[in-house]
């Protein structure tokens, strides 16, 4: 199981590398990585376990964040009502954003990253909607449209696979500037 000590921090070159494509069928090692990436999210989103293991809660975790430069990330976006099924939950492998909406969106609260210890305030403008293609752990291909919160989370994770960190997108002169065609996402 991954703990905070396993999470690579900003400054480590692995976070700035282009990750390698994953080949199928998955090796046992890659299958375990996929499992462990999702396990981190599940454990971190349980308030008791999160506290017990001293984790920072997460809705996504990309392989480079645990020092593995491969195109794999876990995403678990819970429903507002915690008794409902998650809005989106999967390990996305070799993900590609095949189209972006013209409309932009940013999380109201800005973004944080498990690999970035300090708070960096500012809006992180992204596409409000994306069309995503990826392969799951069973080798099944997926093609789907995501909007708002799950779309933002997937963009944050896919950025990690290309060596980009959220603050790269923040306007340095005016971190809270907002364009007309930009919506807030909660």
Report, as residue numbers or ranges, the catalytic residues: 157
Least distance to ligand NB4, CB of residue 170, Å: 12
Q: Is 115 left (phi over 0), alpha (psi -120 to 50) or beta?
A: alpha
Residues 64 and 19: their CA atoms lie apart, in Å, by 7
Return the residues of window 55-114 that contact Ni ion according to CB under 5 A: 113
143 is in an annotated binding site: no
Residue 58 contact among ligand NB4, Ni ion, none, beta carbon within 5 to 8 Å by kind: ligand NB4
What radius of gyration, in Å, describes the C-alpha atoms of the chain?
16
Please identify, among the stretches 85-93, 136-144, 151-159, 176-184, the one whose residues bind ligand NB4 according to the rule CB under 6 A.
151-159
Residues 59 and 73: their CA atoms lie apart, in Å, by 11
Tokens describing residue 48: 């008791």
Residue 18 carries which DSSP code? P
Binding site for ligand NB4 (CB under 6 A): 45, 57-62, 65, 78, 107, 111-115, 152-153, 156-157, 160
Q: Which residues are annotated as a binding site for Fe cation?
A: 113, 156, 160
Known binding residues: 113, 156, 160
């Amino acid at each position: 199981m991954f703990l905070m000590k396993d999470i690579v921090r900003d400054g480590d070159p692995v976070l700035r590398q282009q990750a390698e494509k994953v080949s199928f069928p998955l090796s046992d090692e890659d299958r375990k990585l996929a499992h462990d990436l999702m396990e981190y999210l599940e454990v971190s989103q349980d308030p008791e376990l999160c506290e017990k293991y001293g984790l920072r809660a997460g809705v996504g975790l990309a392989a480079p964040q645990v020092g593995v430069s491969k195109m794999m990330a876990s995403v678990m976006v819970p429903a507002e009502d915690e008794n409902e099924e998650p809005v989106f939950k999967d390990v996305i492998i070799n993900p590609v954003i095949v189209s972006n909406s013209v409309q932009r969106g940013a999380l109201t609260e800005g973004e944080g990253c498990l690999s970035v210890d300090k708070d960096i305030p500012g809006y992180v403008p992204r596409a409000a909607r994306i069309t995503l293609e990826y392969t799951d752990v069973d080798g099944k291909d997926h093609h789907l449209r995501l909007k708002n919160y799950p779309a933002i989370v997937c963009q944050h994770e896919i950025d990690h696979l290309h060596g980009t960190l959220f603050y790269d997108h923040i306007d340095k002169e005016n971190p809270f500037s907002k364009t007309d065609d930009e919506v807030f996402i909660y």
